[in-house]
């Protein structure tokens, strides 16, 4: 059976459930705040609670791979189960792995995260293009073949990112602008929303680049980093409808209560929908 492209599935999910992505970030301080030990049992309880509470109602869940990797193979097993359970409940899963490499190594990362036969197979994966956009070709090609998505780091919300992303090329344009142009080329001809997206921080204020990439814009920074849903139209302008606002701590801090998590996610989804409209 032909799988719908990720962009089409993402648009449908956001239209049905609202444009919200909730991060699954089980870092030590958050486990402690939930009254859980910083061990594999705490990780499993935390992750299962978030998935059970939210996967049947939010458009996107975004596990941060690093917080699972730190527990070794047992942590990866928890991540595998979370991805499968979240997708079974109807949420799209963006694996926040930020992988970036060349050649066969990049092909290996692609097989891990977007090949439907992998136990970590997700609907999309985040990648870093700063070994050159062409280094992403293995993941871009496999994702297109499998109906998956790719989110390319373009203008991130961390202040250190500007050193590379705002650097200018010989033509005077920024590196970030060049990455966005490459993404637009990947999405050329896509019907509806393209499947190659960009990561653009919601905290940036004036981005100063063309965000018309015919693809989704994953926007971290809402909540604990200081941005609000009201910032979406200010930062993204005409591209606001294609924004996937990402909230982590400001939803997760309402756990371990499932009702608290659901209420917080519903509130952010409603505020983000109003801002986009």
* 116 given a catalytic annotation: no
- Between CA 70 and CA 147 the distance in angstroms is 29
H and E: helices and strands count for the chain:
12, 8
Reply yes or no on whether the pLDDT at 240 is more than 70. yes
C-beta separation of 229 from 246 below 8 A: no
H-state helical runs in the chain: 6-17, 28-33, 40-54, 65-69, 73-88, 103-114, 137-146, 162-165, 175-187, 231-236, 249-252, 258-276
Instruction: Identify the pLDDT of residue 265.
Output: 97
Among 37-41, 161-165, 207-211, the least confident range: 207-211
Q: Is the pLDDT of residue 1 over 70?
A: no
Name the token pair of 15: 């239209």
- What is the C-alpha radius of gyration for the chain, rounded to an integer number of angstroms? 18
Evaluate if pTM is beyond 0.85.
yes
- Which SS3 state, helix, strand or coil, does residue 23 take? strand
Q: Is the pLDDT of residue 105 over 80?
A: yes
Report the CATH architecture of 6-271. Answer: Alpha-Beta Barrel (3.20)
Token pair for residue 57?
């109602």
Q: How many CB atoms lie within 10 A of CB 98?
A: 16
**Which whole number is the average pLDDT over 46-67?**
98
Does residue 138 carry a pLDDT above 70?
Answer: yes
Q: What is the mean pLDDT of the chain?
A: 95
Q: In this structure, what token pair is assigned to residue 218? A: 């994953």
What confidence category does residue 2 fall into, taking pLDDT thresholds of 50, 70 and 90? low
Q: How many CA atoms lie within 13 A of 149 on its CB side?
A: 32
Set 62, 98, 116, 234: catalytic member: 98
pLDDT at 189 over 80: yes
At 223, the pLDDT band (50, 70, 90 cuts) reads confident
Q: Which pLDDT does position 242 carry in this prediction?
A: 96
Contacts (Cβ under 8 Å, ≥6 apart) of 146:
3, 114, 115, 116
């Amino acid at each position: 059976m032909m799988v719908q492209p990720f962009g089409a599935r993402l648009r449908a999910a956001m239209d049905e459930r609202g444009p919200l992505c909730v991060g699954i970030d089980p870092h030590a301080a958050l486990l402690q705040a939930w009254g859980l030990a910083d061990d594999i049992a705490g990780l499993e309880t935390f992750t299962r609670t978030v998935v059970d509470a939210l996967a049947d109602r939010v458009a996107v869940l975004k596990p941060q791979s690093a917080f699972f990797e730190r527990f070794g193979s047992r942590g990866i097993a928890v991540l595998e189960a979370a991805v499968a359970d979240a997708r079974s409940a109807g949420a799209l899963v963006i694996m926040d792995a930020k992988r970036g490499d060349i050649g066969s190594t990049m092909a290996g990362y692609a097989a891990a995260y977007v090949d439907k036969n992998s136990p970590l197979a997700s609907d999309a994966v985040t990648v870093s293009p700063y070994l050159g956009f062409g280094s992403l070709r293995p993941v871009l090609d496999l994702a297109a073949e499998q109906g998956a998505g790719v989110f390319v780091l373009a203008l991130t919300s961390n202040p250190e990112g500007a050193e590379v992303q705002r650097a200018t090329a010989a033509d005077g344009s920024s590196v970030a602008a060049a990455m966005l142009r490459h993404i637009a080329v990947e999405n050329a001809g896509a019907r509806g929303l393209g499947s190659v997206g960009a990561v653009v921080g919601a905290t940036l204020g004036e981005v100063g680049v063309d965000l018309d990439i015919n693809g989704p814009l994953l926007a971290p920074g809402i909540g604990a980093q200081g941005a609000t849903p009201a910032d979406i139209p200010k930062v993204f302008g005409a591209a606001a409808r294609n924004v996937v606002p990402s909230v982590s701590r400001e939803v997760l801090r309402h756990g371990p209560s499932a009702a608290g998590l659901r209420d917080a996610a519903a509130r952010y989804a409603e505020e983000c929908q109003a801002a986009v409209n």
